[in-house]
C-alpha cells in the first residue's frame, strides 16, 4: 500500500472543500475543513519537522523510546517498507500533524485492513480539523489500496481525541491486550 503523490491533500474553505469532504472517506461528520491544510507523504526533507511532531507525540503519551527505534521508524516511513506516513502543514507551511499507517491481511476480509498506528496534532492546532483531515487522508490511501477497514487504538482518557473518533468512526467495544516479549 503505497501513499502515491496524488494523495497530497489540500483542504480549505468553499466548494472544493465540500467536494473533497464527500469523497475523502465517508467519515460521518459533515464539517472537517481547515484553513488550507496540506497533507503530503513524508519524505527525507521532512525529517526535522517529523521529529519535532514525533517527540511531541511521545511526550503526550508520557513515553520514552530508544532513539534508534525513532531513527528506524523514520527510515521505514520514507522507504518502501510497508509503513506509511504523512505530514499536515498549515497555510504557512508549518508542520502541525503527522499520521502513520500500515496495511495487513485479515481473516475477516477478502482484501485487508489498514491500521492507523500513530496520529498526532500539535497542541496549538488541535480542534481545527487537522486530525479529521489526517484520518481522511489515511482512509483515501486505504480505499485506493482496496482495503475494507481503517482502525486504530487510543487511550481511554484521551477525551479530546475520542470526541473526534466518536464522530468519524465506531467504537467497537473491543479491549486491547498485549504481551511484551522482551520482558519475559
Instruction: Give dist(CA 127, CA 144) in Å, integer.
Output: 27
Residue 155 contacts residue 125 (beta carbons within 8 Å): no
For residue 143, give Cα distances in angstroms to 98, 111, 149, 150: 19, 11, 8, 9
Provide the 10 A C-beta neighbour count for residue 155.
Answer: 11
Residue 154 contacts residue 169 (beta carbons within 8 Å): no
Predicted local confidence at residue 24, as pLDDT? 43
Instruction: Give the mean model confidence (pLDDT) for residues 118-147.
Output: 95
Torsion of CA 162, 164, 167, 171, to 10 degrees: -30
Instruction: Give dist(CA 169, CA 151) in Å, integer.
Output: 9
Query: Average per-residue pLDDT in the chain?
Result: 84
Does residue 141 register a pLDDT over 70?
yes
Q: In what order do the strands lie in the sheet with 113-121?
A: 9-11, 37-41, 83-89, 95-104, 113-121, 149-151
Predicted local confidence at residue 23, as pLDDT? 38
Grid cell 481525541 is found at 161
DSSP type of residue 159: H
* Interval 35-81: pLDDT, tens: 568 999 999 999 999 999 999 999 999 999 999 999 999 999 999 89
Predicted local confidence at residue 71, as pLDDT? 98
The values of phi and psi at residue 6, to 5°, are -70, -10
* Interval 85-126: pLDDT, tens: 999 999 999 999 999 999 999 999 999 999 999 999 999 999
Domains of the chain: 5-170 (3.40.630.30)
Amino acid at each position: 500500500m503505497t501513499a502515491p503523490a496524488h494523495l497530497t491533500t489540500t483542504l480549505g474553505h468553499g466548494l472544493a472543500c465540500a467536494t473533497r469532504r464527500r469523497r475523502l472517506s465517508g467519515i460521518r461528520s459533515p464539517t472537517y475543513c481547515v484553513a488550507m491544510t496540506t497533507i503530503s507523504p513524508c519524505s527525507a526533507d521532512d525529517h526535522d519537522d517529523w521529529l519535532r511532531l514525533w517527540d511531541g507525540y511521545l511526550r503526550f503519551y508520557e513515553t520514552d523510546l530508544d532513539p534508534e527505534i525513532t531513527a528506524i521508524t523514520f527510515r521505514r516511513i520514507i522507504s518502501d517498507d510497508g509503513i506509511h506516513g504523512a505530514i499536515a502543514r498549515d497555510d504557512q507551511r508549518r508542520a502541525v500533524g503527522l499520521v502513520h499507517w500500515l496495511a495487513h491481511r485479515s481473516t475477516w476480509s477478502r482484501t485487508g485492513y489498514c491500521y492507523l498506528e500513530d496520529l498526532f496534532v500539535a497542541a496549538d492546532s488541535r480542534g481545527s480539523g487537522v486530525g479529521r483531515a489526517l484520518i481522511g487522508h489515511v482512509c483515501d490511501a486505504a480505499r485506493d489500496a482496496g482495503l475494507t477497514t481503517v482502525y486504530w487504538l487510543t487511550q481511554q482518557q484521551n477525551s479530546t481525541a475520542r470526541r473526534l473518533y466518536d464522530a468519524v468512526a465506531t467504537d467497537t467495544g473491543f479491549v486491547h491486550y498485549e504481551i511484551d516479549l522482551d520482558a519475559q
